Amino acid sequence: MIQIPAVDQAFLLLLIVFCLGTCLVRAFWELEQVRTRRILSPPRGRTTKRD
Which residues, in sequence order, are CB contacts of 4 under 8 Å at separation 6+? 12
Q: What is the pLDDT of residue 7?
A: 94
pLDDT number for residue 9? 95
Please write the tens of the pLDDT for every residue from 1-51.
Answer: 788 899 999 999 999 999 999 999 999 999 999 998 888 887 666 666 665
**Phi, psi torsion values for 44, nearest 5 degrees:** -115, 145
Three-class DSSP category at 27? helix
Q: Which residues of 3-33 are buried (b: 16+ CB within 10 A; e: fewer)?
A: eeeeeeeeeeeeeeeeeeeeeeeeeeeeeee
